[in-house]
Amino acid sequence: MAELHCPLAESFSLTRGGPFHRLLVRLGHGEEGERDRVVRRAVFGTAVTWLPLLALSLAQGVAFGDKVELTLLGDFSVNLRFLVALPILILAESRIDRRWNQLVREFLRSRLVGASELPAFEAVIERVTRLRDRVLPEAVLAIVAWLPSIFVDKIELLSASSWHNLGAGGSEVSLAGWWFVLVGAPIVRFLLVRWLWRMLLWTLFLWRVSRLELHLVATHTDMAAGLGFLSEGQKTFAPIVFAGGTVIAGQVGNAIAYEGAALSAVRPHMIAYAVMALVALVVPLLAVTPTLMEVKQRALFDFGALVTHHAQAFEAKWVRGEHAPDETILGNPDASSLADLGGSFTVVRGMRLVPIDRPTLISLALAAALPMLPIVLTATPANELIGTVITMLG
């Protein structure tokens, strides 16, 4: 049976659309099909956010030196935010979008969506695409990203003696500080919340597709009735998780280096981020959980009855001797089919209600923890590290 042809699925994208993308296209930074454009956008984003901070800090003498305790070049948080996290948030778009497109086409390639459901499948794609292109959602995201800047006077950034706070007692916000608050930080926040918006769109897509008459098979060896491929989609979000982790790591590094915070005091923040990142990436897959629950429950009854009937017939034939005198159990297909049915029933019982596997969870957890590792190694005394290693080896 040939794969269904669906132009909407082949062109599906959650990143190549929306008012911000259209603006980038007009500026020459967002044409489709050119990966170098993504690199240029990343370089442009860093130039807009970090270079003005450097220039303004140099002008006021707080980029380096001993005028303030926390100089710009010594600020782990701001440098990781704009030189590492921001480029990753932009560069990840191309890879994640290709994977989303692949997952959408997989519904057709694996024949989960049949010909009768193709119009409904296309309608789901059209609805999600229209929502992606609306102006209001991204306008709200921009407001949410910029809103904290209104309360700049009430925000203690890190230290009174720093590149962003000058004057007696750090009462005056520097020029670089104003750029950080009004331009740099909102841009990073916008990129982060826009990824959350895209994740919401993906969740909506999965929810609506799961309501279709999908050809799901409870005995599928992926242990998710044929939807196990969705786990690979979440694995591609490791760079986003890593980018968020670098922001947290930068803030933790500043707290330890310049405010004397103990590692034990900031460890809960690092753990909380890792947990929140994992939960945020598992939640979209919960959209298909109700459908998987129905498939599993129905299969448990169906296969349970089938296994029972076969076992009853097997017992009557071979245990109670209701078979031909010259017929032997050795090599008889009855035993083989009973074993096959038992194996299928075991697969159904072990079917996951959330289509995510352990390797994906491990890769995401590592992405969240990796930016924290240098902080942990730096802040932990050498004797404690050696003792931990010896304990693990023992």
340 shares a domain with 362: no
33 found inside a domain:
yes
Write the single-letter amino acid at 138: E
**What pLDDT, on a 0 to 100 scale, did the predictor assign at position 220?**
85
**What pLDDT, on a 0 to 100 scale, did the predictor assign at position 317?**
59
**What pLDDT, on a 0 to 100 scale, did the predictor assign at position 3?**
65
Count how many domains the chain has: 2
370 found inside a domain:
yes
Average confidence (pLDDT) per 10 residues, the chain, 394 residues: 77 86 70 67 92 93 87 91 94 90 93 91 95 92 87 51 70 84 92 93 95 89 89 90 92 83 81 89 92 88 68 59 52 52 70 89 90 79 55 50
**What pLDDT, on a 0 to 100 scale, did the predictor assign at position 391?**
57
**What pLDDT, on a 0 to 100 scale, did the predictor assign at position 264?**
79
**What pLDDT, on a 0 to 100 scale, did the predictor assign at position 132?**
92
186 shares a domain with 121: yes
339 shares a domain with 361: no
Q: How distant is the alpha carbon of residue 331 from its chain centre?
A: 50
Torsion of CA 120, 124, 129, 131, to 10 degrees: 130
338 shares a domain with 365: no
Rounded to whole angstroms, the Cα distance separating 364 from 240 reads 10
Write the single-letter amino acid at 183: V
194 shares a domain with 147: yes
126 shares a domain with 60: yes
Rounded to whole angstroms, the Cα distance separating 16 from 357 reads 29
287 found inside a domain:
no
268 shares a domain with 312: no
pTM of the model: 0.84
**What pLDDT, on a 0 to 100 scale, did the predictor assign at position 321?**
58
Which domain covers residue 335, as residue numbers? 295-349
**What pLDDT, on a 0 to 100 scale, did the predictor assign at position 331?**
45
261 shares a domain with 143: yes
272 shares a domain with 126: yes
**What pLDDT, on a 0 to 100 scale, did the predictor assign at position 261?**
79
269 found inside a domain:
yes
301 shares a domain with 201: no
> Nearest CA to 281 among 350, 372, 195?
195
Rounded to whole angstroms, the Cα distance separating 182 from 185 reads 7
Rounded to whole angstroms, the Cα distance separating 342 from 334 reads 12
